[in-house]
Each structure stands twice: as C-alpha cells, then as structure tokens.
Structure 1
C-alpha cells in the first residue's frame, strides 16, 4: 500500500513537468489563476470507489480512498508542494502588480444532506457493484472538499504575501450541487457540476487493458481512467452486457453519450465557471 510520502513523491514526479509546462507558458501576464490539489487528494479515486465504480469490483474501498485523502490534506508535504508551486508561478510575474489568484473547490453535494438521495446511484455498472449516495458517503466526500479548501487557505494566509489572493468560491454553488432536497439528484442546468455524460459507452476492444491504466495515471486524465476501468470490467466479465448504470440515472434528454473526449466528471459546468469568474471579480484587487 502506498504511504502519503510515496504517493506525494510519485505525484511530484508525475505532475512537476506538467506544472512547469503550464507555468513556463506564463509571459507578460498581469495575473494568473491556480487550481491545484484535487488530483493530490485523489478525487477520481474517491468518486470511483464511492460513487461510479467504473472498475466494477476493482474500484477500491471508499473508506480507504477517503482516509487517504484526509492524510494527504493534513500532511506537511502537501503544504510544501503547494507553496512551491506558488513560488514558481510568482517568479513569472515581472510586474509589481502581478497577482496569483488561487482558487479552491466546492463540496459536490448539497449541505442539507437529507435522505432524498440515499437510494440514488451514479454507478456505471448495475448489480452488486452499484453504489448509492447515502448521507454518510455524501457527508464524507463533502468534508474532503471543505478540508482541502481550509488547508489551501491556511497555506496562503501563512505566506503573508499580498501577491497571492485566495478565491474561495464554494458558496457560489449553494443550491446548485447534487442532491438538493426535494429535487432530482441531478437537477438539469441547475446543477453546476457535470455528471459523466456517458451511460451508453462501451470500448469495443479499442482500449488496451494491459497498458491503459498506467497511461491514464501518467496523463492524469480522469476520462481516460474511467474508460480504462470500463474496458477492464468488460474484458473480465464479458457477460455483463447492460449498458451504463441501467437503473435510475436521468440522462436528461439531449446530453451526449460518453466518450473520453466529452466526459467532464464532477467538473463545473459553464454556469459554474461563470459563478467562479464572478467570485474572482469580487476579490479582484485593482478595482
């Protein structure tokens, strides 16, 4: 089993080039935004193990995925790595007015945590692999998001550097998360996070299950990881022919079926990003 240290060291090796590549593109900028931390705590692993079960019986333990995320958030290594990324980005600002706006995360589920969603499932596969969105699961996933926000805020406050501005936009998503009381679990355009958008996808043998998992881990692409998991289950359980969750998931009419290029698993929708922009404008230092 990976320890926090070994995970963070691996994540640093895997992601440092990517971070450097993005930072090296910053030229003649007045400001930059930074969104970082979700992959470190393993949001995909949590959503896979606790909600979607793309890997079927190989999706891992929800309890262990959440406990691992809690360890990462609480670790000194996470704080050191986050602060180091800020330092690299600040070095790109030639102007005294250059600012970094560090954005956080929102809880995914409504804070009311009623039992309306207890029997609802986002799971891709039916049967005994199916996960349901119980109050306990929603509460624990929400708490990871809140703890991550709190940790990022602490890191920024401890720096005492007015060039870095903390943008805590989570409140903007109030009433726009999954599982709002008295409404459908995914409430059309009023839910500002994407579901997977792919209930009819089957890989048709075009994914190499021997290599796809490692390739997806190296790329950090959640869509590729989801597609890889589906391909592995299909290969190992060829009689599992039901398409998608096959249960109570509402595909909402005109939404496209899943393909790795269209999935935006639990990322903000266009309306969600517009709300984030509004929060950035609210804390913008030059008005």
Structure 2
C-alpha cells in the first residue's frame, strides 16, 4: 500500500547564497541537467518540509581550508586576510538580504505544495572544526608535502579565529531565521554534537581516526581517494604558472581540476573525494540527521506511514471547454480549457496542486499536443494532452498507463459537446 511520503528536500552543503546558485538552481519547476552536479531535481508537489545549509562558501570556507589549513595559498592571500574577509561578509547587508530572499522563496514555494501553510523550512548551522584549547596542535600543520610554500600551523590563536568565524556564521543565520514566523522557519544548531570529535581533540595528524567526524585529506578510506593523492600534484603542476600561486581564483582552481578529469570518469570520482575535505564523515552526518529529525518532529511535521489516499482504481472527471465559445469561461481562448477532478478508490476527491488554492479542481489551458501535468496527492503525476480539433480524443498518461477518452478498458465515457463544453469520466490504476 502506498504510504504517506515524508519528503525531505535538501539543498546541499554548503551552497552559495548568490542568485546564480540557490535562487536559480534549487527552486526549479522542472528537472535541469547540470554538467557538474548531474540532474538537479524540480521542487515538485511533495515536500512537507525542506532543509538548507547556506553561507559557508560566501564567507570563504574553501579559501580558508586551502589557505589556513592545507597551506596551498593558491590565491596569494594570507590566512588572517581570509578570515577577516569572512567576518566582513557576515557584516554586510548583502549577505542578510540574500539569505532572507532564499528563505522567503522557500516559503513561497512550499506554501504552493500539497502541504500548503503547514510547510516548514529548517535552516541548519555549521560545526566548529577544531578543539581550540589543547596546545598539542600548536606545532602541527596539514600542509601538503608537495606544496612549496611555508606551512601554516594550527596554533591556539589560529584555531580560535577559525572557530569564531563558524560561530559568527551560525549567529548571523540564527538572527536571520528569527525575523520569520517561528512556526514556519526553524533554526537547527548541531555544533555541540561534534564535541570530542573535532580536529585536535586527539593527536594530529591522525588520518582515518574514527572519533574525528570531519574528513581530512589523508583519510585513505577508499581506493579512489588513495589514487587522488597521487594525481592531484600532477594536476597542480600541469596548470601552475608559478609554484606558490598557480591559480588566480578558487573557480580557476576547481575548473582546472574538472578539466583535467573531463574525459576520465574514474578521475572524476577521485575529485569527489578531494572536495569532501572538511565536510562531515558518516558519523558526523548521522549526528546532523538526528538533530534534523528531532527538530522536524518537535515542529509537528507528521511522521511517515499514514496513507494519503485509497489506492486501487481511481477516477477522473474532465470538462473540456471549446475554443472561443462566446457564452462560456473560454470565450477569449484560442486553446482548449479544462477543469479536472480526481477521486481515489473510495470516491473521495484528491487535492490538486497545479496552482495555489486549487482545492480539488484544477483549471488550466492545454495547447494542442502539449502534455499538461496535473499534480496531486497521488505518488505520480497525471498528464493530459488535448488534440487539435473538437472530435480529437483527450489523451492521458499515469505511471506508464497511456489511454484516451475513447478507451473502454479505462472506462472512459465522454459525451458530446453541449453549450460549448463536453464532460467525461475515465479511470486508472492508482
């Protein structure tokens, strides 16, 4: 029996707040192919809640990790400058306005789904990377052995400054969340769960330490990452204009790596391991997941397992309005207009989500030969296609079932046009 879908629409970690990242790529009405990230999903009608982690790239986490921790210094900046730039970003009105725009966009999209005003949006923070108290790390560096520049050491001061940036980012995001209704936008802070599992909680460097919940470069836990450690120096040398500053920007560095692996799927897999450094390991993600589940449960999002409709043989009632009919609702229309309702196996009308406030009836224009998607409580979307003339059959498609308004196997029963419209019923397995 189909179950209630407890949808989890996650927007990744950590995306840029900038318009071309979240606002243009995470609220799609249709799937979109992306050469770097594969297929980006459409928002759809399913999410009852959504989560987001945002802002890390905006404050320069990538640059901080590579400059302050791995001593690559690809862009010629010193660590203090990188950290100060992050604080300056957090203090800017641009950061606040973009974050608010993202949250408002999520609420607008969520309220248009089947869950309506009960949709909730969860904003998660970040974990601090380091234990900033133990002096053991004062003389430790994560510098790559093939990098020619001077090492950065993980002194107490350096660790404190980097942790303070993470805490400031959390504080800013929490402050922004507080400007929205508390029953719609919820802040999740999981930083405390990482206590005892940060870098420098034990002797460093300690690759593959199961008690450290953050990936390091030398975590050789799979063959792909092992091979990457041998490939990356060659990539860097290949694309380097000078040993100390081979790339002019972070995008140039990433583009060089992607170009180097463009024709080799195996090498592309290696890059996944490279990009994961200073992201949570599975145990870290488990802790984050637990925090999210608790917040979702506390917010009253219904638990999974409750059926939303009676499965079996569903029915659909269709009203088709003729084009340019002077006395009907389609008097100015050059294309057919439809009203559609869907009933479950018990004859109960199912909510439809083609528009805000559709209720159980959706009205839409169907240009000739162009499939129209009808979103509802059902686990799959119905498609309806109008023909070019009045006598043309209306075509339907649901979860691999394809039939027309003259198909007796689907109990289709459509009458003749009367006063500018015709009505009919059809059925399908749901």
Does TM-score exceed 0.5, indicating one fold?
yes
Partner of 1:192: 213
Deviation of 1:196 after TM superposition, in Å, equals: 2.1
Matched, 1:141 2:152: no
Matched, 1:110 2:134: no
Partner of 1:122: 142
Aligned partner of residue 179 in structure 2, secondary structure: helix
Q: 1:275 to 1:134 in 2, by over 3 A?
A: same
Q: Which moves more between the two structures, 262-271 or 187-196? A: 187-196
1:1-287 matches, cutoff 5 A = 15-19=18-22, 20-24=24-28, 25-28=42-45, 29-55=47-73, 58-93=75-110, 94=112, 95-111=116-132, 113-125=133-145, 128-180=149-201, 182-186=202-206, 188-197=209-218, 199-200=229-230, 201-203=232-234, 208-209=239-240, 213=247, 217=251, 224=254, 259-263=270-274, 264-284=276-296, 285-286=299-300
State the superposition RMSD in angstroms. Answer: 2.8
Deviation of 1:18 after TM superposition, in Å, equals: 2.4
Deviation of 1:226 after TM superposition, in Å, equals: 9.2
Unaligned ranges ≥5, structure 2: 1-15, 29-41, 219-227, 259-268, 302-430
Paired residue total: 238
Deviation of 1:16 after TM superposition, in Å, equals: 1.6
Residues 53 and 59, structure 1, Cα contact 8 Å, conserved in 2: no
**C-alpha separation between the residues in 2 aligned to 1:36 and 1:99?**
17
Partner of 1:251: none
Residues 124 and 199, structure 1, Cα contact 8 Å, conserved in 2: no
Q: 1:214 to 1:286 in 2, by over 3 A?
A: farther
More strand per residue: 2
TM-score (norm 1): 0.74
Aligned partner of residue 277 in structure 1, secondary structure: helix
Residues 197 and 212, structure 2, Cα contact 8 Å, conserved in 1: yes
Partner of 1:246: none
For the pair shown, the structure with the greater C-alpha radius of gyration is 2
Q: Which moves more between the two structures, 99-108 or 41-50? A: 41-50
Q: 1:202 to 1:83 in 2, by over 3 A?
A: same
Deviation of 1:183 after TM superposition, in Å, equals: 3.7
Residues 98-137 of structure 1, C-alpha deviation per residue, up to 9 Å, x if partnerless?
11111110110014x2111011111114665211111111
More helix per residue: 1
Residues 34 and 101, structure 1, Cα contact 8 Å, conserved in 2: yes
Q: 1:226 to 1:166 in 2, by over 3 A?
A: farther
TM-score (norm 2): 0.51
**C-alpha separation between the residues in 1 aligned to 2:149 and 2:237?**
26
Q: 1:184 to 1:164 in 2, by over 3 A?
A: same
Deviation of 1:162 after TM superposition, in Å, equals: 2.0
Q: 1:128 to 1:194 in 2, by over 3 A?
A: same
Q: 1:216 to 1:66 in 2, by over 3 A?
A: closer
